[in-house]
Amino acid sequence: MSVIAGNLQGIRQRIRDAADKAGRPLQAIRLIAVSKTFPADAVAEAIDCGQADFGENYVQEAIAKMDTLQQLHPGARPIWHFIGPIQSNKTRQIAERFDWVHSIDRLKIAQRLSEQRPAGMKPLQACIQVNISGEASKGGVAPEQLAGLAAQVAVLPGLRLRGLMAIPEPAEDFSRQRQPFARLRALALELQSRGLPCTELSMGMSADLEAAIAEGATLVRIGTAIFGKRNHGQDN
Ligand SMILES: *Cc1c(COP(=O)(O)O)cnc(C)c1O
C-alpha cells in the first residue's frame, strides 16, 4: 500500500473512533484532505483511494494544481475548499474555481466573491472564519463582530452561508484543545437561534481532530497526517 493510502486509512480510523466516542454518526463528519504544498499527483493518488474533498490555501498554487490534475486524471471531479487568507485581488479566481470557501472574515471579501461567482454555478458554499483564540496574527472576525457579518453574508446571492471555521492556538492537552472548539460551537448555535443557517463547523487539523469531533466538527481539515510533513516556510 502507498504511504498516502495507508495514511488515509489511518485518518479514517481516527475519525471513526472519535465519532464513536462522541456518539456522533460518521456521516456527519466530512474529511477535507489539505493538499497545500503537495503536487497534483498526490491529489490524484488520494482520489484513487476514494477521497473527494481537498483543501488549499494559496490561490495560485491551487489553480495550477487543478489544471495539472485535469490532465493527469481527466475523469476526476474533486470538491475544492479554499481555506487560506483571502486577498481582494484573488477573489475572482476563488469564485470561479472553488466549491467552498472557509475563510471569509470581512464583508468586502464576501461581496466580491458573491458578485464574481459565475451565474451558471451553484452558490459558493461559505463559512465565516472566527478568530477564536484572539491571536493578533490570526485571520478571522472577532466573536463580537460575527453576528453582524453573518447576517450580511447570509443574504448575498452568490454565496450560501453554511457555518463557521476556526484555527485555534495549538494546545497539547485534550481538554485545552476542546475549549476553543466548544466556543465556536456555541457561536454557531447562537447564530442558528437567530435563524442563520450555520450548521457546519470547520474545525480540527492533524493534531487536534479528536477534540474537534468531540465538540461537533462537521468538516475536518487534515494535511500532515495524510500527505506528510510540509517543508518549513511553506506553511501558514
Ligand atoms: C495547513 C492547514 C490545515 C492542515 O493542517 P495539518 O496540521 O497539516 O493537518 C488545516 N487548515 C488550514 C486552514 C490550514 O492552513
| Average pLDDT of the chain, as a whole number | 96
Residue 206 CB less than 6 A away from ligand 1: yes
Look at residue 134 in the predicted model and tell me its pLDDT: 85
Ligand 1: nearest atom to the Cα of 230: 8
Ligand 1: nearest atom to the Cα of 83: 13
Q: In this predicted structure, which of 24-33, 57-66, 133-142, 145-154 has the lowest mean pLDDT?
A: 133-142
What element of type H or E holds 33?
strand 30-34
Cα–Cα dist 25/19, whole Å: 6
pTM: 0.96
Q: What is the dihedral of CA 235, 17, 218, 27, to 10 degrees?
A: 130
Look at residue 30 in the predicted model and tell me its pLDDT: 98
Residue 113 CB less than 6 A away from ligand 1: no
Ligand 1: nearest atom to the Cα of 102: 13
194 Cα: distance to centroid of ligand 1 (angstroms): 30
Look at residue 216 in the predicted model and tell me its pLDDT: 98
61 Cα: distance to centroid of ligand 1 (angstroms): 15
Residues 6 or more apart from 26 whose CB is under 8 A from it?
15, 16, 19
Residue 221 CB less than 6 A away from ligand 1: yes
Residue 11 CB less than 6 A away from ligand 1: no
Q: How far is CA 220 from the centre of its chain?
A: 7
Look at residue 58 in the predicted model and tell me its pLDDT: 97
CB 110 within 8 A of CB 156: yes
Q: What does residue 89 show for φ and ψ, rounded to 5 degrees?
A: -75, 5
- Is 60 exceeded by the pLDDT of residue 154? yes
Look at residue 135 in the predicted model and tell me its pLDDT: 81
Which residue's CA lies nearest to atom 4 of ligand 1? 223
Average pLDDT score over residue span 228-235: 72
- Of 159, 160, 167, 152, the residue nearest 106 (C-alpha): 152
Which residue's CA lies nearest to atom 7 of ligand 1? 206
Neighbour-count burial for 31-57, b at 16+ CB within 10 Å, e otherwise: bbbbbbbbbbebbbbbbebebebbbbb
Query: In the chain, which ranges are continuous DSSP H helix?
Result: 3-22, 40-48, 59-72, 91-97, 107-116, 143-154, 174-193, 209-214, 224-227
